[in-house]
Amino acid sequence: MAQLYYRYSTMNAGKSLELIKVAYNYEERGKRPLLLVPEVDDRYGGGKIVSKAGLEREAIKVPADMNLLELITGKLKEIRDKDPSASIDCVLLDEGQFLKKHHVLELTEVVDGYDIPVMVYGLKNDFRNELFEGSKYLLIYADKIEEIKTICWCGRKATMVARVVDGKFVKSGEQILVGGNEMYVSLCRRHYNDGRLGDEDTRPRPVR
């Protein structure tokens, strides 16, 4: 039975690289994965999944108002018009935190109605330590939730994402502001709360 997977982490944990590896493994076995990415992630011109390691793949852009069930139904029809025995063997979606609630519900229909596994990769919490809309509903509806671990500068497990503007740690502003290594840093809870961005940060720690 197919399942909806949600694989989450903080920044720089290799989520996109893991997705690209999964796509390659499917294709190596003669299978057909369908790759998707929310349109709001336009860092690379849109319609691309790009890993920090330099690997990239083309992907279908998902606007906020797109119906994913209709998209995948249409893609299945295109494939089966050419080969009635062919199918989509899995759906791989990056930056899942940017999905809307209806997207997540549509993905559950893809899993349950077509028996196609769906694997979504993304962040869980934002720089204010609040859930994104997509991550909230993926946590509710996913059949399997898996953490991809990464570490803070101190060596502890990173669970928080800090936003950095002009070299300063900020905890207010718009939830969605797409950026990379220069704007976001993964931290453990302790250093997120302390506001310490690295070992060279000599600001006094708050009294506990």
Residues with catalytic annotation? 95
Q: Assign residue 124 a region: left if phi > 0, alpha if psi is -120 to 50, beta otherwise? A: alpha
Q: Is the dihedral of CA 128, 130, 133, 136 positive or negative?
A: positive
Contacts of 192 (CB under 8 A, 6+ apart): 129, 159, 160, 162
Furthest C-alpha separation in the chain = 67
Q: Which residues pair with 30 in a beta bridge?
A: none
Query: Which ranges of the chain does DSSP label H, i.e. alpha helix?
Result: 15-28, 68-82, 101-114, 133-141, 189-194
Q: Which residues of 126-151 are buried (b: 16+ CB within 10 A; e: fewer)?
A: bbeeebbbbbbbbeeebeeeeeeebe
Cα gap 95→161, rounded to integer Å: 14
Hey, what are 130's tokens? 């609040």
Specify burial of residue 63 (Cβ count, 10 A radius: 0-12, 13-18, 19+): exposed
